[in-house]
């Protein structure tokens, strides 16, 4: 198949899923065209079957706001015609599904059929979507898509609850390429960040308020009071500066390191003992899944799709959002002795295998085939 992928090209989970999906499709012989405003950060060197088309918005002095969505629609028309795309797979309802709908209508007027599959990732539904000003466009774009997927059962429920949507939504979870993770380099990382055998805790996010990174620090404080421990904070975003400054001024500041954005976070994750995910809402929690794929158990909040990923008592432990006492008790339970930690490590890896790319990719391929064949 010849597939166009539209996504946000950033470190966010939706961009990572879209990019890894493109790689996996190309590895199976499909031809993939990424169409977005910047080369996706996880896009590895392009080979003959993965292509990238940049959407450039000129700065027109007449407009207060530059019309990205319209430029994207035009680009989609252009790439679809020239590259003879069979379908588009767009990640996020707005602006990507609405831009795809516009492109579809333009092509239809020229006698060309271009179906599109929309994947809902969460922020478009749980946060942006609750802003009533977007509701009509999001509901319409979802209804008009040729197929719609959501990354968890929880997100599917949220979509039906918050939008005027009646159509079928398929749940296709986030995935990992299990074979990609190896624990071979752990000694170097541990020597660097936990040189005296401390337990190594880690959190990866975009430091948006929804991630509640303050809770991560609170949990760490409580764990460190009971055992030697270090905390690695990976990623960057609006809350980082404030939290980093607070950590530097605290008595445990020397035990917390901010590593910024890492293109390959698993290089560090493989050496860690526990992943903390304290989010207010989380439609899936790809960062937690990536940790589990590295054999790292997860202490998380019990919100959105996280219980579908982090199985309580097996891959980690869950507690209510904001309950940092329960979370630190959970962390201490897992980290308390080597045998328990080893059991949770094993559980994390086993659970991560449920989301291996070889299980999830065929779900997308089947859907693509279905929407293409619906027009023949
Ligand atoms: O987590 C973020 O803030 C980034 C966000 C995004 O839209 O890129 O991630 C969302 O999509 C990921 C991939 O499907 C999910 O794993 C994340 O759970 C989801 N984030 C939220 O729901 C907050």
- Determine if the pTM surpasses 0.85: yes
Strands 229-234 and 256-260: parallel
Distance, first Cα to last Cα, the chain: 15
What CATH architecture applies to the domain 178-355?
3-Layer(aba) Sandwich (3.40)
Round to whole Å and give the CA distance between 97 and 230: 42
Q: Which atom, in ligand 1's list, is nearest to the CA of 304?
A: 22
Of the candidates 123, 144, 80, the residue with the CA atom closest to the CA atom of residue 280: 123
Q: Which atom, in ligand 1's list, is nearest to the CA of 122?
A: 22
- Mutation probe of ligand 1 site: the residue of 5, 10, 13, 360 with most atoms within 8 A of C-beta: 13
Domain chopping of the chain, boundaries: 2-175+356-373, 178-355
Q: What is the pLDDT of residue 154?
A: 97
DSSP state, 129?
G
- Name the burial class of residue 370, with classes exposed (0-12), middle (13-18) and buried (19+) by CB atoms within 10 angstroms of its CB: middle
Strands 199-204 and 229-234: parallel
- Token pair recorded at residue 96: 């990507």
- Mutation probe of ligand 1 site: the residue of 284, 290, 291 with most atoms within 8 A of C-beta: 284
Distance 354 CA to ligand 1 centre (A): 19
Give, using CA atoms, the residue closest to atom 20 of ligand 1. 282
Round to whole Å and give the CA distance between 285 and 272: 18
In the chain, DSSP assigns E strands to 2-6, 31-36, 50-54, 87-91, 116-120, 147-150, 170-171, 199-204, 229-234, 256-260, 274-277, 298-301, 316-319
Distance 213 CA to ligand 1 centre (A): 15
Question: Distance of CA 227 to CAs 193, 231, 319, 331, Å?
Answer: 16, 12, 21, 11
Round to whole Å and give the CA distance between 83 and 360: 26
Fold of 2-175+356-373: Rossmann fold (3.40.50)
Q: What is the pLDDT of residue 297?
A: 98
Round to whole Å and give the CA distance between 189 and 269: 9
C-beta separation of 323 from 255 below 8 A? no
Round to whole Å and give the CA distance between 63 and 134: 21
Q: Which atom, in ligand 1's list, is nearest to the CA of 155?
A: 22
* Common-topology check for domains 2-175+356-373 and 178-355: yes
- Mutation probe of ligand 1 site: the residue of 15, 119, 121, 211 with most atoms within 8 A of C-beta: 121
C-beta separation of 6 from 96 below 8 A? yes
C-beta separation of 26 from 50 below 8 A? yes
- Mutation probe of ligand 1 site: the residue of 283, 301, 360 with most atoms within 8 A of C-beta: 283
C-beta separation of 148 from 170 below 8 A? yes
- Token pair recorded at residue 184: 């071979």
pLDDT in tens, the chain (376 residues): 999 999 998 878 999 999 999 999 999 999 999 999 999 988 887 778 999 999 998 887 888 888 899 999 999 999 999 999 999 999 999 899 999 999 999 999 999 999 999 999 987 776 655 677 888 899 999 999 999 999 999 999 999 998 889 999 999 999 999 988 776 779 999 999 999 999 999 999 999 999 999 999 999 999 999 999 999 999 999 999 999 999 999 999 999 999 999 988 999 999 999 999 999 999 999 999 999 999 999 999 999 999 999 999 999 999 999 999 999 999 999 999 999 999 999 999 999 999 999 999 999 999 999 999 997 7
Q: Which atom, in ligand 1's list, is nearest to the CA of 282?
A: 22
Distance 92 CA to ligand 1 centre (A): 10
Of the candidates 136, 95, 94, 114, the residue with the CA atom closest to the CA atom of residue 33: 114
- Token pair recorded at residue 4: 């166009």
Distance 121 CA to ligand 1 centre (A): 6
| Residue owning tokens 């380099």 | 185
Give, using CA atoms, the residue closest to atom 14 of ligand 1. 121
Distance 350 CA to ligand 1 centre (A): 23
Distance 301 CA to ligand 1 centre (A): 15
* Ligand 1 interacting residues, C-beta cut-off 6 A: 12-15, 17, 121-123, 126, 151, 174, 206, 208, 210, 281-286
C-beta separation of 364 from 172 below 8 A? yes
């Amino acid at each position: 198949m010849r597939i166009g992928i539209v996504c946000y090209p950033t470190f966010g989970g939706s961009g990572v899923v879209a990019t890894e999906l493109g790689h996996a499709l190309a590895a199976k012989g499909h031809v993939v065209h990424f169409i977005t405003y910047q080369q996706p950060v996880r896009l590895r060197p392009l080979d003959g079957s993965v292509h990238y088309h940049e959407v450039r918005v000129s700065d027109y002095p007449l407009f207060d706001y530059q019309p990205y969505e319209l430029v994207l629609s035009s680009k989609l028309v252009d790439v679809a015609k020239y590259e003879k795309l069979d379908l588009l797979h767009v990640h996020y309802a707005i602006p990507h599904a609405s831009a795809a709908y516009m492109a579809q209508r333009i092509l239809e007027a020229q006698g060309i059929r271009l179906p599109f599959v929309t994947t809902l990732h969460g922020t478009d539904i749980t946060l942006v979507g609750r802003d009533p000003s977007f509701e009509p466009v999001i509901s319409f774009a979802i209804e008009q898509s040729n197929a719609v997927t959501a990354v968890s059962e929880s997100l599917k429920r949220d979509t039906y609850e918050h939008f005027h949507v009646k159509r079928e939504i398929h749940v296709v979870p986030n995935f990992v390429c299990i074979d990609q993770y190896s624990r071979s380099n752990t000694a170097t990382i541990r020597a660097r960040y936990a040189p005296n055998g401390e337990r190594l805790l880690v959190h990866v996010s975009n430091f948006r308020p929804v991630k509640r990174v303050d809770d991560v620090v609170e949990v760490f404080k409580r764990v460190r009071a009971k055992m030697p421990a270090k905390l690695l904070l990976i990623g960057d975003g609006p809350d980082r500066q404030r939290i980093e400054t607070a950590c530097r001024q605290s008595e445990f500041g020397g035990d917390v390191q901010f590593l910024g954005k890492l293109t390959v976070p698993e290089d560090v994750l493989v050496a860690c003992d526990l992943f903390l995910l304290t989010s207010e809402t989380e439609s899936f929690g790809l960062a937690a899944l990536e940790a589990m794929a590295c054999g790292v158990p997860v202490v998380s909040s019990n919100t959105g799709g996280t219980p579908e990923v982090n199985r309580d008592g097996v891959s980690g432990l869950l507690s209510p959002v904001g309950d940092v006492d329960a979370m630190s008790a959970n962390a201490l339970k897992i980290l308390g002795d080597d045998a328990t930690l080893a059991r949770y490590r094993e559980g994390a890896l086993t659970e991560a295998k449920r989301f291996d790319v070889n299980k999830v990719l065929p779900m997308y391929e089947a859907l693509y085939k279905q929407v293409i064949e619906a027009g023949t």
